Structure 1
Amino acid sequence: MKETFSEEEYRSREVDDGSVVATKKPVDKRRLLFKIDLFVLSFVCLQYWINYVDRVGFINAYISGMKEDLHFKANDINITNTCFTVGYILGMIPNNLILLVAPPRVWLSFCTFAWGLLTLGMFKVTSFKQCCVIRFFQAIFESCTFSGTHLILGSWYKENELPIRSAIFTSSGLIGSMFSGFMQVEIHDSLDGRRGLAGWRWLFIIDFAITMPIALYGFLFFPGVPENSSGSSSFSMTRFFFSERELQFARRRLPARDESTRLDWSVVPRVLKRWHWWLFSFVWVLGGENLSLASNSTFALWLKNQGYSLSHRNNFPSGIFAVGIASTMLSALYLNKISKARHWHVAMFLAVTMCVVAIMVRSNPISAPVMFTAQYLGGVAYAGQAVFFAWANVVCHADLQERAIVLASMNMFSGAVNAWWSLLFFPASTVPHFEKGSYALLATSIASGLVSVLIRRFQNKDRYGEQELPYIDANDMPHDEDDDDDN
Structure 2
Amino acid sequence: MGGQSEKSLSQDGVMAAEIPSSGETSWSSDAERKLVRKIDLFLLPSIWLMSLFSWMDRANLGNANIAGLTADLGLSSSQFSMAVITYYFGYIIWVPISTMILARTRPSLYLPAIMMLWGAVTCGGAGVKTYPQLLALRVLLGILESGLSPGITYMFSCWYRPDEIGKRVSTYNTSALVGGAFGGLIAGGVMENLEGAKGLRGWRWLFLIEGLVTIVVSVAAISTLPDIPATWGRLSPEEKTIAMKRLQNIGIQVNDSGKSKPKLGVGQCVVLALKDWRSYAIALGAGFISAMLIMAYFYPVLVRGLGYTDPVKAQYMTVPIWAVGLVFTMASGFVTDRLPHWRVPVLASCLLLSVIMAVITCAVYNFKARYVFLALMTGGVWAGFTQGIAYIAELFQDVPPEQRAVTMGLMSVVGSTGNVYGAYLFPAGHAPKYLVGFGMVAATGAIAAGSFLLIWILERRKQRYERR
TM-score (norm 1): 0.83
Supply the distance in 2 between the matched residues of 1:462 and 1:266 (Cα, whole angstroms).
Answer: 25
1:338 Cα deviation (Å)?
Answer: 3.9
Supply the distance in 2 between the matched residues of 1:337 and 1:349 (Cα, whole angstroms).
Answer: 17
Task: For 1:231-270, list aligned pairs within 5 A.
Answer: 231=233, 238=234, 242-254=235-247, 255-258=250-253, 260=261, 262-264=263-265, 265-270=267-272
The alignment of Structure 1 onto Structure 2 pairs a total of residues equal to 433
Partner of 1:377: 376
| Runs of at least 5 residues in structure 1 that lack an aligned partner in the other structure | 1-8, 10-22, 232-237, 469-487
What amino acid is the match of 1:120?
C
Name which one, 1 or 2, has greater alpha-carbon Rg.
1
Supply the distance in 1 between the matched residues of 2:319 and 2:269 (Cα, whole angstroms).
Answer: 42
What amino acid is the match of 2:439?
Y
1:280 Cα deviation (Å)?
Answer: 0.7
Q: Residue 174 of structure 2 contacts residue 326 of structure 2 at CA under 8 Å; is this kept in 1?
A: yes
Relative distance call for 1:246 and 1:370 in structure 2 (3 A) is same
2:54 to 51, 55, 62: 51
Relative distance call for 1:404 and 1:428 in structure 2 (3 A) is farther
Supply the distance in 2 between the matched residues of 1:269 and 1:211 (Cα, whole angstroms).
Answer: 36
Partner of 2:8: none
| Runs of at least 5 residues in structure 2 that lack an aligned partner in the other structure | 2-24, 254-259
Partner of 2:332: 331
Q: Residue 66 of structure 2 contacts residue 300 of structure 2 at CA under 8 Å; is this kept in 1?
A: no
Supply the distance in 1 between the matched residues of 2:270 and 2:32 (Cα, whole angstroms).
Answer: 37
Q: Residue 50 of structure 1 contacts residue 176 of structure 1 at CA under 8 Å; is this kept in 2?
A: yes
Supply the distance in 1 between the matched residues of 2:239 and 2:140 (Cα, whole angstroms).
Answer: 38
Q: Residue 290 of structure 1 contacts residue 354 of structure 1 at CA under 8 Å; is this kept in 2?
A: no
1:335 Cα deviation (Å)?
Answer: 0.8
1:434 Cα deviation (Å)?
Answer: 1.6
Please give the secondary structure, in 2, of the residue aligned with 1:161. helix
Q: Deviations over 1:61-90 (max 9, x none)?
A: 221122222222232210100111211211
Q: Deviations over 1:167-191 (max 9, x none)?
A: 0111012111111110111122222
Worse-matched range after superposition: 136-145 or 400-409 = 400-409
Relative distance call for 1:159 and 1:184 in structure 2 (3 A) is same
1:109 to 112, 127, 137: 112
Supply the distance in 1 between the matched residues of 2:364 and 2:98 (Cα, whole angstroms).
Answer: 43
Relative distance call for 1:329 and 1:205 in structure 2 (3 A) is same
Supply the distance in 2 between the matched residues of 1:408 and 1:324 (Cα, whole angstroms).
Answer: 26
Supply the distance in 2 between the matched residues of 1:165 and 1:257 (Cα, whole angstroms).
Answer: 18
1:411 Cα deviation (Å)?
Answer: 2.4
Supply the distance in 2 between the matched residues of 1:403 and 1:320 (Cα, whole angstroms).
Answer: 34
Supply the distance in 1 between the matched residues of 2:349 and 2:27 (Cα, whole angstroms).
Answer: 46
Q: Deviations over 1:92-151 (max 9, x none)?
A: 211111111111111101110000000111111112221111111011111111111011
Please give the secondary structure, in 1, of the residue aligned with 2:147. coil
Q: Residue 302 of structure 1 contacts residue 431 of structure 1 at CA under 8 Å; is this kept in 2?
A: no
Q: Residue 175 of structure 1 contacts residue 321 of structure 1 at CA under 8 Å; is this kept in 2?
A: yes
CA RMSD, 1 decimal: 2.3
What amino acid is the match of 2:205?
W
Partner of 2:133: 130
Task: For 1:381-396, list aligned pairs within 5 A.
Answer: 381-396=381-396
1:381 Cα deviation (Å)?
Answer: 0.4
Q: Does 1:276 align with 2:275?
A: no
What amino acid is the match of 1:122?
G
What amino acid is the match of 2:279?
W
2:145 to 131, 136, 142: 142
Q: Residue 112 of structure 2 contacts residue 222 of structure 2 at CA under 8 Å; is this kept in 1?
A: yes
Q: Deviations over 1:284-334 (max 9, x none)?
A: 112222334x23415524515845212221111222211111111111111
Partner of 1:398: 398
Supply the distance in 2 between the matched residues of 1:396 and 1:465 (Cα, whole angstroms).
Answer: 19
Q: Deviations over 1:443-471 (max 9, x none)?
A: 22222232222111221123224469xxx
Q: Residue 396 of structure 1 contacts residue 402 of structure 1 at CA under 8 Å; is this kept in 2?
A: no
Supply the distance in 1 between the matched residues of 2:326 and 2:299 (Cα, whole angstroms).
Answer: 19
Q: Deviations over 1:9-38 (max 9, x none)?
A: 9xxxxxxxxxxxxx9996822222121111
Relative distance call for 1:184 and 1:438 in structure 2 (3 A) is closer
Partner of 1:480: none
Worse-matched range after superposition: 245-254 or 298-307 = 298-307
Q: Residue 357 of structure 1 contacts residue 377 of structure 1 at CA under 8 Å; is this kept in 2?
A: yes
1:337 Cα deviation (Å)?
Answer: 2.3
Q: Deviations over 1:411-454 (max 9, x none)?
A: 2212113212322x332332222222232222222222322221
1:372 Cα deviation (Å)?
Answer: 0.3
Q: Residue 62 of structure 2 contacts residue 297 of structure 2 at CA under 8 Å; is this kept in 1?
A: no
Please give the secondary structure, in 2, of the residue aligned with 1:290. helix
Please give the secondary structure, in 1, of the residue aligned with 2:50. helix
Partner of 1:86: 89
TM-score (norm 2): 0.87
Partner of 2:313: 312
Q: Residue 125 of structure 2 contacts residue 204 of structure 2 at CA under 8 Å; is this kept in 1?
A: yes
Relative distance call for 1:286 and 1:417 in structure 2 (3 A) is closer
Q: Residue 88 of structure 1 contacts residue 140 of structure 1 at CA under 8 Å; is this kept in 2?
A: yes
Worse-matched range after superposition: 79-88 or 450-459 = 450-459
Relative distance call for 1:354 and 1:338 in structure 2 (3 A) is same
Q: Residue 299 of structure 1 contacts residue 375 of structure 1 at CA under 8 Å; is this kept in 2?
A: no
What amino acid is the match of 1:147?
P
What amino acid is the match of 1:151?
Y
Partner of 2:68: 65
Supply the distance in 1 between the matched residues of 2:465 and 2:402 (Cα, whole angstroms).
Answer: 22
Q: Residue 192 of structure 1 contacts residue 198 of structure 1 at CA under 8 Å; is this kept in 2?
A: yes
What amino acid is the match of 2:403?
E
Q: Does 1:433 align with 2:426?
A: no
Partner of 2:178: 175
Supply the distance in 2 between the matched residues of 1:467 and 1:101 (Cα, whole angstroms).
Answer: 35
Partner of 2:79: 76
Supply the distance in 2 between the matched residues of 1:99 and 1:175 (Cα, whole angstroms).
Answer: 26
Supply the distance in 2 between the matched residues of 1:351 and 1:51 (Cα, whole angstroms).
Answer: 24
Q: Deviations over 1:163-213 (max 9, x none)?
A: 011001110121111111101111222222221122221112211221122
Please give the secondary structure, in 2, of the residue aligned with 1:52. helix
1:407 Cα deviation (Å)?
Answer: 2.2
Please give the secondary structure, in 1, of the residue aligned with 2:77. coil
Supply the distance in 2 between the matched residues of 1:80 and 1:228 (Cα, whole angstroms).
Answer: 40
Q: Residue 78 of structure 1 contacts residue 428 of structure 1 at CA under 8 Å; is this kept in 2?
A: no
